[in-house]
């Protein structure tokens, strides 16, 4: 099927939905979805949530959002209630964002208008660690919504479930599209991967065993809120002087990364990782207005990581998300040496010595009650 058709196919199917054809049903669904860290970054988009270049990420294991949704589908109602809490407490910020998201989903999930929802979400990583949670939060919510859909319609489309979850999650947060799969995921059209799409992410299965169980120690340099949101950052790419070369380079990097992942070439992987991290931040610094998310501690860590590699010949490399914190990525077999290095050299640059030792993850867990 042509990829442009996936969205229309979902809309067509949704258009046939008649609430009266189904019985009232209520219950609770839950999902625990991980976050992910991009190797090749997504930065720049066009409506609606279509990336300007493909991106590829590693799914994490420890950094997760646990979401529980109690629902009540009543075929006769059209203005269902919404209630949101974060860790059991009211959250206005979360409520506004999710309300908008749910309303935008009604053409795709037409039962939403007749379904009251009580949503509670909580991150498993420390609340104030400055780790972006939109990928795991939107991934968890998308999967919960599809679990509810299955309970209402009785249809279980196991084969295409994650594809649809990725599609829905993407509309909430682009990077969330990649969080619904284990190990590595690719989002965005590229001739290098059959089945790749701008509309949903796909899982990558053919990677070299050398990458199995890769580690990601997240060094929390600054746990504060970032000064510029990802949405504003994406918008600043629209008339960015380096946008065109960046998108071209990202396409090239995706092709190169495919070869690297298949061959198990860790040193090349590290070069790519670091080039992409610094490119992302270079784009931020050269936006109008330009902005700087790295802190002095971030730079000290980057320098020390490069020196550590030179001195030891080990293959630990850094990447950055849209923030000051550093993700240090390395093979599972080098865990002891890298942990000693972190404890001895890097922790002093972290806020309250905070580090989250994470690793390649197994993907979301759906728990239906
Ligand atoms: O998913 P968004 O809209 O929050 O954008 C995320 C962009 C980066 O995290 C900086 C890169 C990426 O590909 O995850």
Whether ligand 1 lies within 6 angstroms of the CB of 341 is answered as no
Whether ligand 1 lies within 6 angstroms of the CB of 44 is answered as no
Nearest to 366 by CA among 199, 180, 108: 180
Residue 38: the pLDDT is: 98
**What are the pLDDT digits (tens) for 107-143?**
999 999 999 999 999 998 876 666 778 999 999 999 9
Nearest to 105 by CA among 135, 144, 162: 144
Whether ligand 1 lies within 6 angstroms of the CB of 226 is answered as no
Residue 251: the pLDDT is: 98
Nearest atom in ligand 1 to 280's CA: 10
Residue 61: the pLDDT is: 97
C-alpha R_g of the chain: 21
Whether ligand 1 lies within 6 angstroms of the CB of 112 is answered as no
Say what the alpha-carbon torsion angle 57, 63, 69, 75 is, to the nearest 10 degrees.
0
Residue 128: the pLDDT is: 63
Residue 253: the pLDDT is: 98
Q: Which DSSP category does 78 fall into?
A: S
342 contacts 219 by C-beta, under 8 angstroms: yes
**Which residue lies with its CA nearest to atom 9 of ligand 1?**
321
Mean pLDDT of the chain: 94
Residue 131: the pLDDT is: 79
Whether ligand 1 lies within 6 angstroms of the CB of 139 is answered as no
Distances (CA, A) of 41 to 56, 187, 258, 259, 275: 7, 10, 14, 17, 10
Residue 369: the pLDDT is: 59
Whether ligand 1 lies within 6 angstroms of the CB of 276 is answered as no
Q: Which of 174, 236, 257, 280 to mutate to test the pocket of ligand 1 (most atoms within 8 A of CB)?
A: 174
Residue 127: the pLDDT is: 65
Whether ligand 1 lies within 6 angstroms of the CB of 179 is answered as no
**Which residue lies with its CA nearest to atom 6 of ligand 1?**
175
- The CA 202 to ligand 1 mean position distance, Å, reads 16
Distances (CA, A) of 119 to 81, 132, 187, 215, 261: 11, 19, 27, 32, 38
Residue 1: the pLDDT is: 47
Low-confidence ranges of the chain (pLDDT < 70): 1-4, 127-130, 368-369
């Amino acid at each position: 099927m042509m990829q442009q058709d996936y969205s229309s196919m979902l809309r067509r199917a949704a258009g046939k939905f008649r609430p009266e054809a189904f019985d009232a049903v209520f219950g609770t669904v839950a999902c625990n979805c991980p976050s992910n860290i991009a190797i090749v970054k997504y930065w720049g988009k066009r409506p609606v949530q279509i990336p300007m270049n493909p991106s590829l990420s590693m799914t994490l294991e420890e950094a997760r959002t646990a979401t529980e949704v109690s629902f009540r589908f009543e075929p006769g109602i059209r203005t269902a209630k919404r209630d949101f809490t974060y860790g059991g407490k009211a959250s206005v910020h979360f409520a506004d964002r999710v309300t908008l998201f749910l309303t935008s989903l009604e053409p795709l999930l037409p039962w939403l208008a007749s379904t009251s929802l009580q949503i509670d979400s909580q991150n498993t990583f420390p609340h104030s660690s400055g780790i972006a949670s939109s990928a795991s939060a939107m991934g968890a919510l998308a999967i919960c919504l599809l679990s509810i859909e299955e309970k209402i319609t009785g249809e279980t489309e196991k084969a295409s479930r994650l594809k649809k979850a990725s599609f829905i999650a993407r509309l909430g947060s682009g990077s969330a599209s990649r969080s619904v799969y284990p190990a590595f995921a690719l989002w965005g059209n590229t001739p290098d991967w059959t089945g790749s799409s701008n509309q949903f992410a796909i899982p990558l299965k053919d990677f070299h065993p050398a990458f199995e169980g890769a580690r990601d120690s997240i060094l929390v340099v600054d746990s504060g809120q970032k000064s510029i949101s990802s949405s504003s950052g994406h918008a600043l790419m629209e008339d960015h002087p380096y946008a065109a070369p960046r998108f071209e380079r990202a396409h090239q990097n995706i092709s190169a990364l495919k070869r690297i992942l298949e061959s198990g070439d860790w040193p090349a992987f590290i070069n790519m990782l670091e080039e992409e991290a610094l490119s992302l931040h270079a784009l931020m610094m050269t936006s109008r207005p330009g902005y700087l998310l790295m802190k002095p501690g971030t730079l000290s860590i980057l320098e020390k990581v490069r020196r550590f590699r030179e001195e030891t010949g080990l293959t630990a490399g850094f990447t950055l998300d849209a923030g000051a914190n550093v993700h240090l990525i390395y093979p599972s077999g080098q865990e002891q040496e890298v942990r000693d290095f972190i404890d001895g050299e890097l922790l002093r640059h972290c806020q309250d010595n905070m580090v989250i030792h994470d690793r390649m993850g197994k993907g979301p867990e759906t728990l239906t009650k």
